[in-house]
């Protein structure tokens, strides 16, 4: 996929013969997920389809199909490694997930975060519809301070869970109006809230609790990322906590004040490079307006984080769905 593109495409078994549908469905799913095995109780009348949205960072797929069992074996995990997470959310019907000695039964408004880095089984009945969102491992592991398999049932009927579910549905419904930058920006926020939900941070915590400190610090740094004088010390002073508290809270999440400040500044630059409102600004002007001390410092950090330099990302530019849609 070309850098900076936002792709929306659809696929269905409707246009192929009944004998081909099952095999083609397996090939199709493997092509945009990872290697798995597929078992169909009935192949002569199998029907399925997808609507997919993706950038170079996130992917959201809504799919529907007949009865099927998906299996990812230990051998497939070794030979086709995939460390990223998937957010599963049924829209109609029921899913049963088995992973890491757990079994979860998912119905509409009951989601699940699972990893493709460990074997699993997914069983679904007929007339199934669901969302599956691919999330880079570092976006989850850093916030939850973990790198081990995770299979967690999530209640999306109320509170923060309902907000996450609504955002996921909104991303799908607005697929024809979003740009690459907008899709990634909403996905970033969705993943942040999802991690809070998984960690249990949707409930009020006692004053001084490290989880609360982390949440407030992250929000403050994001809102003030362009301040060139921001440091861990200034953040702590502004929020009324000690630097030690801030450091401990972020260490628990697998990061430091300096790393988090840099990450938020890099995200800010990325979003501005894609935004038409900032096209008039040079890379140097964007550098200083986003809190970086020099263009060289930005270029080095930006390439390490996103794999390209700022100028290359700007050259790719934001693209509309109409410019990038695949047939």
| Contact assessment for residue 58 and residue 183, using Cβ atoms and an 8 Å cutoff | yes
User: Two tokens at 294?
Assistant: 């020099």
- Residues 190 and 241 reside in one and the same domain: no
- Residues 148 and 231 reside in one and the same domain: no
- Residues 183 and 224 reside in one and the same domain: no
Each residue's pLDDT tens digit, 11-20: 999 888 888 8
Instruction: Give the residue from 138, 173, 199 where a domain finishes.
Output: 199
Each residue's pLDDT tens digit, 149-181: 455 678 888 888 889 999 999 999 999 999 998
Considering the domain boundaries, does residue 325 fall inside one? no
- Rounded distance between C-alpha atoms, residue 13 and residue 19, angstroms: 11
- Return the minimum-mean-pLDDT range out of 240-244, 248-252, 275-279, 316-320: 316-320
| Contact assessment for residue 67 and residue 126, using Cβ atoms and an 8 Å cutoff | yes
Give the model's pLDDT for residue 68. Answer: 93
| CA-based max dimension of the chain | 67
Distances (CA, A) of 284 to 245, 309, 317: 35, 13, 17
Considering the domain boundaries, does residue 74 fall inside one? yes
Each residue's pLDDT tens digit, 88-97: 999 999 889 9
Instruction: Give pTM, 2 decimals.
Output: 0.64
Return the SS3 of 119: coil
Average pLDDT, rounded, for the chain: 85
Helix, strand, coil shares, percent, the chain, to 5: 45, 20, 35
Q: Predicted confidence band at 267 (pLDDT cuts at 50, 70, 90)? A: very high
Q: How many domains does the chain have?
A: 2
- Residues 212 and 72 reside in one and the same domain: no
Considering the domain boundaries, does residue 216 fall inside one? yes
Range of the domain at 151: 7-199
For 37-60, what is the mean pLDDT? Answer: 90
| Contact assessment for residue 116 and residue 151, using Cβ atoms and an 8 Å cutoff | no
Tell me which DSSP letter residue 34 carries.
Answer: -
- Residues 264 and 302 reside in one and the same domain: yes
Give the model's pLDDT for residue 320. Answer: 35
A 10 A CB-CB count for 1 gives 12
- Residues 132 and 57 reside in one and the same domain: yes
- Residues 158 and 234 reside in one and the same domain: no
Angle (deg, nearest 10), helices 257-274 and 243-252: 70
- Rounded distance between C-alpha atoms, residue 23 and residue 14, angstroms: 13
- Rounded distance between C-alpha atoms, residue 57 and residue 73, angstroms: 25
Instruction: Give the residue from 167, 199, 231 where a domain finishes.
Output: 199
Dihedral over Cα of 207, 209, 215, 219: its sign: positive
Considering the domain boundaries, does residue 1 fall inside one? no
- Rounded distance between C-alpha atoms, residue 302 and residue 309, angstroms: 6
Which one, of 66, 69, 106, lies nearest residue 89 by Cα?
106
CA 182 to chain centre: 13
Each residue's pLDDT tens digit, 202-250: 433 333 467 778 888 998 999 999 999 999 988 888 887 778 778 888 8
Which one, of 256, 307, 314, lies nearest residue 285 by Cα?
314
Chain position carrying tokens 């599963």? 88
Strand order in the sheet with 37-39: 37-39, 68-72, 120-124, 95-99, 102-106
């Amino acid at each position: 996929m070309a850098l900076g593109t936002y792709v929306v495409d659809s696929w269905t078994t409707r246009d192929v013969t009944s004998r081909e549908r099952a095999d083609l469905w397996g090939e199709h799913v493997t092509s945009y997920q990872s290697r798995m095995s597929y078992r169909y109780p009935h192949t002569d009348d199998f029907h399925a389809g997808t609507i997919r949205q993706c950038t170079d960072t996130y992917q959201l797929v809504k799919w529907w199909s007949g009865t099927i069992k998906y299996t990812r074996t230990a051998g497939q995990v070794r030979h086709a490694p995939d460390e990223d997470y998937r957010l599963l959310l049924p829209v109609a019907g029921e899913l049963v997930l088995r992973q890491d000695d757990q079994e979860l039964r998912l119905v509409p408004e009951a989601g699940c975060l699972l990893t493709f880095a460990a074997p699993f089984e997914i069983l679904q009945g007929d007339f199934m519809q669901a969302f599956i969102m691919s999330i880079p491992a570092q976006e989850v592991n850093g916030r939850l301070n973990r790198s081990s398999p995770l299979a967690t049932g999530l209640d999306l009927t109320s509170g923060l869970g309902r907000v996450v579910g609504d955002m996921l549905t909104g991303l799908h419904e607005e697929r024809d109006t979003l740009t690459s930058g907008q899709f990634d920006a909403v996905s970033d926020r969705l993943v942040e809230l999802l991690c809070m939900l998984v960690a249990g941070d949707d409930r009020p915590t006692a004053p001084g609790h490290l989880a609360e400190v982390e949440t407030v610090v992250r929000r403050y740094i994001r809102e003030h990322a362009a301040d060139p004088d921001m440091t861990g010390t200034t953040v702590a002073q502004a929020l009324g906590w000690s630097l030690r508290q801030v450091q401990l809270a972020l260490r628990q999440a697998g990061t430091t004040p300096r790393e988090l400040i840099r990450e938020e500044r890099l995200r800010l630059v990325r979003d501005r490079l894609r935004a038409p409102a900032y096209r008039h600004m040079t890379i140097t002007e964007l550098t200083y307006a986003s809190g970086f001390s020099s263009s060289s410092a930005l270029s080095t950090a930006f390439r390490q984080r996103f794999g390209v330099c700022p100028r290359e990302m700007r050259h790719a530019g934001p693209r509309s769905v109409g410019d990038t849609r695949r047939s």
